[in-house]
Amino acid sequence: MFRSPRPVSMLGRAPRPLLLGALAVAGLAVLPLAYLVIRALEADPGSLDLVLRPRTAVVAASTVGLALLVGAGTIALGVPLAWLTTRSDLPGRRAWAVLTVVPLAIPSYVTGFAFLATFGPRGALQGLLAPLGVERIPSFGGLFGATLVLVLVSYPDVVLATRAALARTDPAVEDAARLLGDRRSVVFRRITLPILAPAIAAGALLAVLYALSDFGAVSLLQFDSFSRAIYVQYRASFDRSLAAILSLMLVGMTFAVAWGESRVRSRASAFAGTARTSRRPPSTVPLGRWTWPAFAFCVAVVGLALVVPAGTIGWWLIRGIGQGEPVRVVVDAALNSFLAGGGAALTAVMLALPVALLVARYPSPVASFLETAAFTGYALPGIVIALAVVFLSTSAVPVLYQTLVLLVFAYAVRFMPQAIGTVRAAAVSVGPRVEEAGRTLGDGPVRAFVRLTLPLLRPALVAGGALVFLTTVKELPMALLLGPIGFDTLATEIWDAAAEGFYARAAGPAALLLVLSAATVAVLLRNEETTR
Amino acid sequence: MSTPAVRLHGLTRRYGSVAAVDELDLEVLPGEMLTVLGPSGCGKTTMLRLIAGLETPDAGVVEIGGRRVAGSGVAVPPERRRVGMVFQDFALFPHLSVHDNVGYGLRRDPDREVRVGELLELIDLADAAGRMPHQLSGGMQQRVALARALAPRPDVVLLDEPFSNLDAALRTQLRADVREILRAAGTAAIFVTHDQDEALTLGDRMAVMVGGRIVQVAPPEVVYGEPASPFVATFVGIANLVPADRRGGRAATRLGVVRVVGPPDARTDGRALAVIRPEHFDVIEAPDGPADTGSWRVLRRRFAGTEILYEVTDSHDQRLWVEAGAGVRRLRVGDSVHLSLRDVETVAFPSGHHADVATTLPAEAPARS
């Protein structure tokens, strides 16, 4: 009685234009990947030997190793933080609940840059130690550096997923286990952790997906994972088929992770399905003598993930202003970023609308399939999409190569899933009744949609667009590969300057991105509030 | 007399300045099913959580099976109280199968498999042993929750409004099932509810709770027939509180004379409120025409499943709920009727017994669900 009946296919009732629109969007979304496959198949057999050389195996092993370490690290930080900020009497719990999530929105290359600029060869630390005669400090980077930075920007995924699962779980379940004879610590092991496990796994897999896709941190810290190898191959070689083949290997990994993530996520929601109304709020667990160690743990994590980046950027910003770094550069880059981001947001929302409406209004296997296709970009690393779009445009539409149109298209493919998620949820809650009422009052189907449904969806469209905008502004590899000549964005400015050690120059755009990141987190946390 | 399964004495739990449970005394006998009826927020759930050890009392004593588990320096943690609990949302372990849910509390029991098998038979879910909680219907989840609570053979099972999230038809069926299962297990049970039908039909005894206190504990028919206070009279079933003049074992009202339960003495004589139930009246249709002085006019009707209740009023705007027997044709709003009081035995409270009863008649009869 609590399971919804098997969905009846509503596809036959879907208006033809809506169906065609969704079909076109799904086609656009898979186009880059499809072309990448074609391109890789065209590779001459000789380059296949290149793929099989030991070097490729090393890159693959490095990538997998990085992904595993990041997954483990995010669990180690995320699960305790989620529990501490929801169930314990940690001093300042509410503030920590926000602070521990903020690093989520900081781009990896900003945190990477901050660590380089602090602990790197010509960083702030060395500068401070120089009067003491310290000429060199160990370089920051490689597997350790990349892991640290990626864990620090993605552990909030685990915090958010775990917190959501904790909030969904009826506290009476833990009470029941105690009444059946288990101590609190045993209950945590036998009940709480197993119930949270799928959510924790989903959060960690999200972090792993991020690590696999990441270009900014690994390239700045010179760690050879697939992303960096693809970029180097693309820049250095005439035979770009090899880059295409490497890309496909990476895509194989990201798709596997994304598939695993969706599997565990559905398991997590099945677990949450049993509890319903009339819950008591969970009781707060006193930390006792663990209070201050727990507090120190929070200080350490937030210190590394938030204070180090913000502090470093602030420090170099002040130095940069002292040295007379031109403000114009920042303003130009910001305008370019906003232009690309605005275009991407608008495009993504328009593309998302038919898919979201089809899935919400006319659920059917075909609709789900089209939605899955439209979500392709979710599992495609930016560097891969960029590469595919380069291939696509040079051979099919050379006119568009190195134009803003192409960049905006690539962004829309990559980030459209965010907009679909938001709009679909709203479309489900608005429902078809309002529009039907409009029809009975004399409106045609289009007019009823425009007069009634569209205004009701507006908040979701704006929210989805805002999310795409904020994500796009921070995006690096696509801007790097697809941006028109001389089109520098905040992201590329930071990356260029940081890669060459001009930390002061990178500080201006980085500071601006930090502010935008805070805005992103505000949006995300509001979502967390409303889902409770 | 044997040791009570549960004994509460002076039990108090305050939230800020509000006492959710206020110097409460209660005893539950071994094997007995005690229902606790009270309005929402009267402290029923808090009382159960104090017994279970999920809350700590500010004062008072909890004894389970003669053993002190809370109060005067003792605080036995919930896992060592031998108390079973069935939660409002069932609180099944979502990651464990039906079998493992039921067997959860039997970790150290060598006969675990046998016991789980027994219980699955008892709740008639042996076929569903391998299913996961989210694959079960609400009624099945309810039975699993009960079996899980019974598995470790607790001294007492606490049921916290266990049917409130189920639909009406299922509730009636489960009520019978649960009673059967608990009888078979022979375990004492405290069953908390705000549904008076549940409390009346399920309990060997029922307790009425209000404002954190138990105001009456007795077999259900006694609570209904001899309510301890005007509040209980109007809370359990529908009651008209009619001003009366009491002399010894009789009370005279303007509707007639009733016999009064309980030993009369000089102090009880005088002005009183008699509890007159709707079924205490014979309703006679009045001839059409101008209302005469003794007639009552039908204000509204309410169909309560098997009988029809009417609210009637007279020229002084006095209001009563009455039940019309099968012999009376369906009355319509506005019809005139005559009432005659049967020769019944009921209770009468000295007037001013409870200052909180402002009107003599209930403005709104409590709904029977």
Going by pLDDT thresholds of 50, 70 and 90, the confidence category of residue A47 is: low
H-run or E-run covering B283: strand B281-285
Q: Which of A136-140, A141-145, B287-291 has the lowest mean pLDDT?
A: B287-291
CA nearest to B82 within chain A: A179
The neighbouring-strand residues paired with B350 are B272
**Higher per-residue pLDDT: B168 or A365:** A365
**CATH assignment, A31-530:** 1.10.3720.10
Going by pLDDT thresholds of 50, 70 and 90, the confidence category of residue A395 is: confident
Determine contact: A182 vs chain B, CB below 8 A: yes
Report the greatest alpha carbon distance in chain A. 84
Percentages (nearest 5) of helix, strand, coil residues in chain A: 80, 0, 20
Q: Which three-class secondary structure state does DSSP give residue B37?
A: strand
The pLDDT tens digits for A461-497 are 988 998 899 899 999 999 999 999 889 999 999 999 9
Q: What is the ipTM of this complex?
A: 0.76
pLDDT at A125 over 80: no
Out of A1, A177, A178, whose CB is closest to B138? A1
- Cβ contact A2–B91 (<8 Å): no
Contacts of B152 in chain A (CB under 8 A): 180-181
pTM over 0.90? The answer is: no
Q: Which three-class secondary structure state does DSSP give residue A69?
A: helix
Out of A183, A272, A276, whose CB is closest to B79? A183
pLDDT, residue B353, reads 46
Q: In what order do the strands lie in the sheet with B281-285?
A: B281-285, B336-341, B296-303, B308-313, B319-323
- How would you write B216-268 as a 3-class SS string? EEECHHHHHHCCCCHHHHHHCCCCEEEEEEEECCEEEECCEEEEECCCCCHHH
DSSP-derived letter for residue B305 is S
Out of B53, B89, B164, whose CB is closest to A170? B89
- Cβ contact A278–B149 (<8 Å): no
Q: Where are the domains of chain A?
A: 31-530
Out of A2, A170, A176, whose CB is closest to B85? A176
Mean pLDDT rounded to a whole number for chain A: 87
Out of B91, B104, B135, whose CB is closest to A175? B91
Give the CA distances from residue B238 to residues B64, B224, B296, B309, in Å, rounded to whole numbers and listed in that order.
35, 9, 19, 10
- Cβ contact A274–B85 (<8 Å): no
Mutate to test the interface with B, among A185, A266, A274, A279 (most CBs of B within 10 A): A274
At B249, list the tokens: 């074992």
CB of A90 within 8 A of CB of A111?
no
Contacts of A183 in chain B (CB under 8 A): 77, 79
pLDDT in tens, chain B (369 residues): 578 999 999 999 998 888 999 999 999 999 999 999 998 888 999 999 999 998 899 999 999 999 999 988 899 999 999 999 999 888 899 889 999 999 999 988 899 999 999 999 988 899 999 999 989 988 899 999 999 999 999 999 999 988 887 788 888 888 888 888 888 888 999 999 988 888 998 999 999 999 999 999 999 999 999 999 999 999 998 899 988 888 888 888 888 888 888 766 666 778 888 999 998 988 888 776 555 667 888 898 887 667 788 899 888 888 899 888 766 777 888 888 888 888 888 888 887 544 333 333 443 444 433
CA nearest to A272 within chain B: B94
Contacts of B89 in chain A (CB under 8 A): 170, 172, 274-279
Say how far apart CA A165 and CA B95 lie, in whole Å. 13
CA distance A184 to chain B (A): 9
C-alpha atoms less than 13 angstroms from C-alpha of B205 in its C-beta half-sphere:
17
Tell me which residues of chain B have a C-beta less than 8 Å from any C-beta of chain A.
Answer: 45, 52-54, 77-81, 83-85, 87-95, 104-105, 107, 132-135, 137-138, 141, 148-149, 151-152, 164-165
Mutate to test the interface with A, among B49, B64, B87, B158 (most CBs of A within 10 A): B87
At A292, list the tokens: 């201050």
Out of B80, B87, B132, whose CB is closest to A172? B87
CA nearest to A274 within chain B: B134
Contacts of A177 in chain B (CB under 8 A): 93, 104
H-run or E-run covering B21: strand B18-28
Tokens 């995924």 map to which residue? A157
User: What DSSP letter does each residue of A143-191 carry, written as one string?
Assistant: HHHHHHHHHHHHHHHHHHHHHHHHHHS-HHHHHHHHHTT--HHHHIIII
CB of A477 within 8 A of CB of A215?
yes
DSSP-derived letter for residue B360 is S
Q: What b/e string do you get for A116-151 counting C-beta neighbours within 10 Å, with b at 16 or more?
A: bbbbbeebbebeeeeeeeeeeeeebbebebbbbbbb
CA nearest to B152 within chain A: A180
pLDDT, residue A272, reads 66
Contacts of A179 in chain B (CB under 8 A): 52-54, 78-79, 81, 83-85, 105, 149
Determine contact: A194 vs chain B, CB below 8 A: yes
Going by pLDDT thresholds of 50, 70 and 90, the confidence category of residue A441 is: confident
Orientation of helix A503-530 relative to helix A308-322, angle to 10°: 140
CA distance A191 to chain B (A): 7
Q: What radius of gyration, in Å, describes the C-alpha atoms of chain B? A: 24
Determine contact: A197 vs chain B, CB below 8 A: yes
Contacts of A5 in chain B (CB under 8 A): none
Contacts of B104 in chain A (CB under 8 A): 177, 180, 190
Q: What is the mean pLDDT of residues A49-62?
A: 84
Residue A53's φ and ψ, nearest 5 degrees, are -75, 160
